[in-house]
Amino acid sequence: METACKLASDFRNGRSCEEFIEKLYENIDEKLNTYITLCMKSALKSAKKVDKNGKGRLLGVPIAIKDSISTEGIKTTCASHILDGYIPPYDAHVIELLKKEGAIIIGKTNMDEFSMGTSTETSFYGPAKNPCNRRRVPGGSSGGSAATISAGEVPIALGSDTGGSIRCPASFCGIVGLKPTYGLVSRYGLIAYANSLEQIGPMANDVRDTALLLDIISGHDQRDSTQIGSSGGYLDALSDDMHGLKFGVPEEFFGKDEDSIDPQVEKSVRDAISTFEEMGAEQKKVELPNIKYALAAYYIIAMSEASSNLARFDGLRYGLREGKDEDWHTTFSNIRAKGFGAEVKRRILIGTYALSAGYYGKYYLKALCVRTLIKQDFDFALKDCDVLIAPTMPILAFELGEKIDDPLSLYMADVNTVPINLAGVPSVSIPCGFSRKLPIGLQIIGRPFEEKTILNAAYAYEQQANSGN
């Protein structure tokens, strides 16, 4: 698939967008199960407008949207039975911005139900498959978005990242995925899982497309009080000059025993670190002593917020409504019992327990205190360093069905991604190698709202890797 930058230029110069979109739909591999909903009719209608007199930085560029982001007139289910048939009456802010710039929505992508998962196997619509190896998971929860890019079906996509949900599938599928600073991109129209942790972010085949997409979706939105927006300029600021860059390598991200990280993952990341030094960057010693508490703190906070957020899904106003209504309590319980999957129920129950009387202070408040310590660790480490470099995922993409019945094993896979969400800092995952024909991701972490720095570092590494040196 050509890049978004090239496609937009081609369509501006007279290439037929309608013909391109028609061929794109013909080439979508339904066996990968990357989409929940396809929007062929509206996409072709938009393509005709592009060919007549279209404008915008993403003119005619096809984009896939994670099914947790509201799209007016297009079914949005969060991959859950409880939202079967729900069609939002409004667009998320990021969708408004994309349409303004001429992007064409191809479809809504498969995901873990309500973004709760690391493999896209908790989806009510069945698991998505990894194009690199169809017996393997594409990662989660934005697995469908990553897989459709990896399969060459679209050049760019939107995902959301609560504890690694953009970076995990980016790593497993061999693409670029950025988790922006908390507050950079509006969350208006994102169906909430854990409000204080999640961010919408760009996914693409290369860093230039990622930067272009971030330029567009980071526009200010007064409807999200936590968002400050940006003036953009991420694409124009890209540079491959790494001289003077100072980077830290937190050894905590590599684990302390042989079982905590795949040896080939560690080797590829260490090789990438050497490449940065060869490009003129300087390595500094850093420590993140409280990272060992991050996973436990994250799941307490995320599940507690999920327990509160998901209380609104009762089937009484929209979504699933089955059988004869009884009294409110019985009807409410029956709908949620049928509508939610096992993993969502598990997280609601744990979150409700953590927030209950007698346990709120023991668990939830203590987790918030740990979150503060982790934020301080990152602040201190990034005082002397421009970026931190670490593995995105400690393991390679695992087989479908391998971990789905072992939730603790799935939670442990997030050990390198959740600290970034707790700290609220930006992080980008880029491919840095392969093992057994499976991609390996390198994570570049930066200071709050310094996305230009981490994108520049990612771009420089990408250019060096592509040069064959």
Q: 436-466: per-residue pLDDT in tens?
A: 999 999 999 999 999 999 999 999 999 999 8
Residue identified by tokens 């980077």 is: 247
Report yes or no: 28 and 40 within 8 Å, Cβ to Cβ: no
- Quote the Cα angle for 355-359-363, to 5°: 80
Are residues 77 and 83 in contact, defined by beta-carbon separation less than 8 angstroms? yes
* Domain count within the chain: 1
Q: How many CA atoms, within 13 angstroms, populate the side-chain half-sphere of residue 75?
A: 17
Distance CA 433, CA 270 (A): 11
**Residue 227 falls within a domain, yes or no?**
no
pLDDT digits (tens, 9 = 90+) for 73-94: 999 999 999 998 899 999 999 9
Model pLDDT for residues 301-348, shown as the tens digit of each residue: 999 999 999 999 988 888 898 778 888 889 989 999 999 999 999 999
Residue 365 clears pLDDT 70, i.e. is over it: yes
Residue 230 lies in a domain: no
469, pLDDT greater than 60 = no
Quickly list H helices, 141-244: 143-150, 167-173, 207-217
Residue 116 lies in a domain: yes
Q: Would you say residue 361 lies in a domain?
A: yes
Please report whether residue 130 resides in a domain. yes
228 assigned to some structural domain:
no
442 closest CA partner among 414, 462, 413: 462
The DSSP line for 32-69 is G--EEEE-HHHHHHHHHHHHHH--STTTT-EEEEETTB
Between vectors from CA 137 to CA 459 and to CA 190, what angle results, nearest 5°? 70
Mode of pairing for the β-strands spanning 104-109 and 62-66: parallel
150 burial (CB, 10 Å; 0-12 / 13-18 / 19+) is buried
Average pLDDT over residues 419-431: 98
Q: Are 66 and 144 in contact (CB under 8 A)?
A: yes
Whether 279 maps to a domain, the answer reads yes
Whole-angstrom distance, CA of residue 411 vs CA of residue 363: 18
Is-above-0.75 flag for pTM?
Answer: yes
Residues belonging to the active site: 66, 141, 165
Q: Is residue 229 part of a domain?
A: no
- The CATH number of the domain holding residue 30 is 3.90.1300.10
Domain that holds residue 129: 1-221+237-469
